[in-house]
Structure 1
Amino acid sequence: MRILHTADWHFGRQLEGRDRRSEQAAFVDELCRIADERKIDLVLIAGDVYDSVNPPAWAEELFYEALERLAAGGKRGVVVIAGNHDQPERVRAAAPLAYKHGIVLLGLPKEAPQISSSDVDGEQVRIVAAGPSWFEIAIPGVEHHAVVLALPYPSESRLKELISESFTQEQMQQAFSERIAMLFAELSEKFRDDTVNLVTSHLFVMGGKETDSERPIQIGGALTVSPSAFPEKAHYVALGHLHRLQKLGEKPLIRYSGSPLSYSFSEAGQSKAVVVLEIVPGHPVQEEIVYLQSGKPLARWKATEGIAQVERWLDEGRDAGAWIELELHVSDVIDPAEFQRLRKLSDDFVKIQRVLVREEREEEAAGERKDLSELQPEQLFRRFYERKRGTQPDERVVALFERLLVDEEGRGDLE
């Protein structure tokens, strides 16, 4: 069985007010192409398909379009669980229609998908058995069934359980991790030697590396789960929540696929991917990381030489096509008109932060303070230009200033 793991689509999310709709639509195209080219049998989407509980209409349309294309007319299985950003009812709203096409939509822990009716033939995906938080799925053309333990974001309120009456972080964390481990231990009894055994959930697992784009899933670490909470009989654990691609265990193989797009500049330089697996019961799991090309990368620029350095980088085509966060070092306040000119140099500037750097002048370091009245006009111009632009003027600019100065003095003599 060939399986694709993805998560944290966050449809509807922006970057500092910039619309990412076209990038998210391009990701759907790329994902469907990967699924077709690699002959994927089952797609696991591990939560946070939306960025908020009330996503824009276009985000819902894009999500349902993705499901329809991935399902391939009922020949490929698709499993979606709700994350902490998702409203469970919204994720599972279309479940009665979706299951007919081999799509499983689960909003809350302990939900069970509908078992396929007897009139579904072997050319369609079928749910052959199911119960709270688990199901067995048959894929056309695949010899082995898959048993999936599916646990959407399991907060106390969504589990409808009071997991701990303690108020200390350590005790709450231990109680939560133990409860999740107990739940998976009970569910893992559904695993068999002749099935592909999978776990998918939306959790914060101890040891995972966070980025700034994840809103906290836990209060002070209280909803943190130990990697040992997952059953050893599982072939693969497909997780959502953390936006960085990372592996947290070998047996079972535990992974976060990460988000398909970079959603904060803390993710600058990260490669985005989906995970493709080939699993045959009784054999080692074959894993492939497929890197994505559809999203614009994020880049951080630190211009210590002022605006002239930024202009040079743009002329050189540095980080072409990326969203850019610019940290601009200047020795004085930038003129508003000059700042607006800077913003217009590139549409890819998402955020510009000015850092005022006041360096001691050489004459001050030597204890030599000169009165401005003692400086020549050309020296005054150089200082003014450096303050406004954050860099030394080109000699041609200085020559032009001197020529203008001479012309002005000549008119003064005539008057």
Structure 2
Amino acid sequence: MKVLHTSDWHIGRSLYGRKRYEEFESFLDWLADEIERQEVNALIVAGDIFDTSAPSNRAQELYYRFLYKVAGSQCRHVVVVAGNHDSPSFLNAPKELLKALDVHVIGDGASEPEEEVLVLRDANSEAELIVCAVPYLRDRDIRTAEAGESVEDKDQKLIEGIKAHYRSVGQIALDKRSEAGKDVPIVGTGHLFAAGGKTIDGDGVRELYVGSLAHVGANIFPECFDYLALGHLHVPQLVGGSEVMRYSGSPLPMGFGEASQQKTICIVEFEGKEVNVVTTDIPEFQRLERIKGDWTAISSRIKELAVLDSNAWVEIIYDGGEVIGDLREQIDSATQETSIEVLRVKNNRIVDRILGQVHEEETLDDLNVNDVFERCLAAHSVPHDQREELVRAYQETLSAIYEEDVNAE
């Protein structure tokens, strides 16, 4: 039994205003071919299929066309779970139709955990894989708010709620394996932030829950899982050093901070009780490059890319000692006769030396939502001893906004 684990496609995401549909299409075409080439039996997508809860028509077209293509291959099963960027109701809407193609969609944490435990069968109707298809668990799915709760109480209830949910699906999976009468592999999924996980600045990974305990430990997952397919973090990595607990990472770099990172998919092969996991490198469909340094270093690298006839999308961060007021004009001149596309220029020297951290040169592209709120607190001279509680209330509000399913009736 061979399983392919991927996650965090974020179809529809743009980069500093640049649409990326051609990249997504190239990746999905490559993935469908790879499923054929590696003779994959089951595909698991561990959340964040789309970048927003209301994906564009083109994003939807790419998604459904890919599922149709995979359904016509030797891959017998597809399991898709929602991430924190996805709309549960949007993903769930065609689930009954998709079942006809052996595509199983779990959009939200089910009130009955048994609905998340899928017994996947071979051509002879024999159980060949059990998947605990746990999606992103929203706050309301796993805890009940009570008046007068402390921050610590909320944190603890979140962790206990996540743990209890996994314990329930794990026990159901064991029961179903017992019913099957043979040692069927059990795969768990999740879309969350495991303790010790690595992120990169600008990758767009959101904090999922408000509170210091939101990064769950590896011990929260049932021991019955033969493999754990996780999503949410964009850097491919192991959890707790375990070869069978992994983030596949995003297939495309979500920002320039990931430009030099090799993207991968995970191939999990079950042979009796043996589990073998290997990673396959994903090709680069659009080169991204971050150029950082003084003007000599920047102009030199632009010339090198021009000689290579590169069509790279570039972010330039100037941090030289000399103040260059017309940096953008010089960059435009240097790239004028090339295929290089400069998507962002950040002149740190102007900001640091001339404006003295007043931030006039910053745009919203330079800041995340927490940075903006911190700027507001500073602008209104809010005392530091009051900021912690205000920041927490702000983060709780953001969390509620992110978790609202705009497509639900």
Same fold (TM over 0.5): yes
The answer to whether the Cα contact below 8 Å between 2:42 and 2:75 also exists between their aligned partners in 1 is no
Q: Is the 8 A contact 2:312 2:339 kept in 1?
A: no
**Equivalence map 1:12-411=2 (5 Å):** 12-72=12-72, 76-110=76-110, 131-140=114-123, 145-157=128-140, 159=141, 161-162=143-144, 169-189=151-171, 190-191=173-174, 192=177, 194-211=183-200, 212-213=202-203, 214-249=205-240, 253-283=244-274, 285-306=275-296, 308-317=299-308, 320-328=310-318, 329=320, 330-334=322-326, 337-342=329-334, 344=336, 345-356=338-349
How big is the shift at 1:302?
1.8
Conserved 8 A contact 2:40-2:75 = no
Where does the alignment leave 5 or more consecutive residues of structure 2 unmatched? 352-409
Q: For residues 253-298 of structure 1, give each alpha carbon's deviation from its aligned partner in whole angstroms, at most 9, with x where no partner exists.
A: 2111000000112212111010001013422x11110010043243
1:322-344 CA distance string (max 9 Å, x none) = 32211234433127754542453
Residue 246 of structure 2 aligns to which amino acid in structure 1? R
3-state DSSP class of the match of 1:101? coil
Q: Which residue of 2 aligns with 1:362?
A: none
Distance apart, 1:41 and its partner CA: 0.4
Distance in 2, Cα, partners of 1:24 & 1:322: 16
Structure 1 residues 251 and 313: CA distance shift in structure 2, 3 A: closer
Q: CA distance change for structure 1 residues 26 and 101 in 2, over 3 Å: closer, same or farther?
A: same
**In structure 2, do the counterparts of structure 1 residues 217 and 342 end up closer, same or farther at CA, with 3 Å as the change threshold?**
farther
Return the letter of the residue paired with 1:348: E
TM-score (norm 1): 0.74
Q: Which amino acid aligns with 1:21?
A: Y
Q: 2: CA distance between counterparts of 1:165 and 1:208? A: 32
Task: List alignment gaps of at least 5 residues for structure 1.
Answer: 113-129, 359-415
Q: Hey, what's the Cα distance between the residues in 1 that align with 2:108 and 2:317?
A: 43
Counterpart of 1:26 in structure 2: which amino acid?
A: S
Q: Measured at CA, do residues 323 and 347 of structure 1 come closer, stay the same or move farther in structure 2, by a change above 3 Å?
A: same
Residues 151, 200 of structure 1: 8 Å contact kept: yes
Equivalence for 2:357 = none
Q: Compared with structure 1, are the counterparts of its residues 44 and 73 closer, same or farther at alpha carbon in structure 2 (3 Å cutoff)?
A: same
User: How many residues of Structure 1 are paired with residues of Structure 2 in the alignment?
Assistant: 338
Residues 169 and 221, structure 1, Cα contact 8 Å, conserved in 2: no
TM-superposed deviation, 1:312: 2.9
CA spacing shift, 1:308–1:15, aligned 2, 3 Å: closer
Match of 1:386 in 2: none
Q: TM-score, normalised by structure 2?
A: 0.75
Q: CA deviation at 1:143?
A: 6.6
Contact 1:262 1:295 (8 Å CA) reproduced: no
Report Cα offsets for 1:18-48 as digits up to 9, x if no partner.
1111010000011011100110000000111
- The 8 Å contact of residues 8 and 46 in structure 1, kept in 2 or not, is answered as yes
What is the deviation of 1:351? 1.1
CA RMSD of aligned residues (A): 2.7
Identical aligned residues as a percent: 29
SS at the partner of 1:131?
helix
Higher relative contact order (CA 8 A, sep 6+): 2
Residues 75 and 241 from structure 1, CA distance in 2 versus in 1: closer, same or farther, beyond 3 angstroms? closer
